[in-house]
């Protein structure tokens, strides 16, 4: 779905983003394409604010897709350099093509590379900030991802991850019955406390777990109700949230300065 068929072109998304969105205020009535796109940009902004990016920072997005969020980070938060990494070469090719003019103007500031979240193709202590937005549910081993991001961050660096997690381990069976992409293995949903422990085991400190589901699920459900996915899979995310099986989290963690 991230290869020859570009997932970001599906009706559930817009503006080349691929995320559920962060909805500040949900106004009754039909949601416009622009409002849907802005919700997805706002999810990135929410994550990037937690990173506290400085103008001298070198940043990395893991799972950048077509890189609209990577470019938003560059333009609005202004790190010195930002890298976008994705497992799909097709997505990296799209990102390079779509951003060709920007890359031509600032080739040293925007760099795309194909690679795995479980084997980051960078030397240790390369980045000041690292983030991933709604991609970690596709990482097969979050403990390895935590270890790899810790390795490539400089002392004092920060990681921010936003995606959905199980609220408790016993939710897995019911989630598989509700959500087709979980049952099929497209979305591999870990328990949030397990991911927190993965980060601590990797050496991170000040691990902060924040539920932001109240700004995600209801707005996404209202949008889905307007699309062809209004039955079944699309509407079941909110049901799972209401049953306290799943939630959307923003997790930040720091690499110790020592």
- Residues 41-54 have pLDDT tens digits of 999 999 999 999 99
pLDDT in tens, 182-239: 999 999 999 999 999 999 999 999 999 999 999 999 999 999 998 877 667 889 999 9
> Which single residue is written with the structure tokens 């935590």?
146
Degrees (nearest 5) of the Cα angle 55, 60, 64?
Answer: 125
Dist. CA 72–CA 222, nearest whole Å:
25
How does DSSP classify residue 74? I
- pLDDT score at 3: 54
- pLDDT score at 184: 93
Which residues, including other chains, have CB under 8 Å from residue 183's CB and lie 6 or more apart? 176, 177
CA 106 to mean position of chain CA atoms:
25
- Among residues 77, 82, 145, which one has the least CA distance to residue 117? 145
Dist. CA 171–CA 227, nearest whole Å:
27
- pLDDT score at 29: 84
Average pLDDT along the chain:
93
Output the CA torsion sign for 112, 118, 119, 124.
Answer: positive
Output the CA torsion sign for 189, 237, 229, 15.
Answer: negative
Helix (H, G, I), strand (E, B) or coil at 124: coil
Beta bridge pairs of residue 110: 82
Low-confidence ranges of the chain (pLDDT < 50): none
Look at the domain 7-255 and name its fold: Rossmann fold (3.40.50)
For residue 252, CA distances in Å to 100, 140, 219, 242 come to 32, 20, 24, 25
- pLDDT score at 2: 55
> Which single residue is written with the structure tokens 């509700």?
178
- pLDDT score at 251: 98
């Amino acid at each position: 779905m991230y290869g020859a068929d570009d997932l970001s072109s599906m009706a559930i998304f817009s503006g080349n983003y691929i995320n559920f969105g962060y909805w500040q205020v949900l106004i009754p009535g039909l949601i416009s394409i622009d409002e849907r796109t802005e919700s997805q940009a706002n999810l990135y902004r929410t994550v990037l604010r937690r990173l506290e990016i400085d103008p001298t920072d070198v940043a990395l997005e893991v799972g950048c897709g077509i890189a609209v969020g990577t470019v938003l980070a560059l333009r609005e938060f202004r790190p010195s350099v930002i890298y976008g990494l994705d497992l799909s070469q097709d997505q990296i090719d799209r990102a390079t093509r779509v951003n060709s003019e920007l890359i031509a103007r600032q080739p040293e500031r925007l760099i795309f590379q194909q690679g795995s979240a479980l084997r980051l193709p960078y030397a240790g202590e390369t980045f000041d900030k690292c983030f991933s937005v709604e991609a970690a549910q596709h990482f097969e081993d979050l403990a390895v991802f935590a270890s790899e991001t810790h390795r490539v961050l400089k002392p004092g660096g920060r990681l921010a991850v936003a995606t959905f997690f199980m609220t408790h381990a016993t939710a897995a069976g019911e989630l598989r019955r509700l959500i087709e992409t979980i049952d099929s293995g497209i979305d591999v949903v870990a328990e949030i406390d397990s991911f927190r422990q993965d980060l601590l085991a990797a050496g991170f400190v000040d691990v902060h777990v924040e539920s932001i589901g109240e700004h995600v699920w209801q707005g996404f459900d209202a949008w889905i109700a307007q699309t062809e996915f209004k039955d079944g899979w699309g509407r079941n995310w909110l049901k799972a949230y209401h049953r306290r099986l799943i939630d959307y989290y923003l997790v930040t963690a720091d690499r110790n300065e020592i």
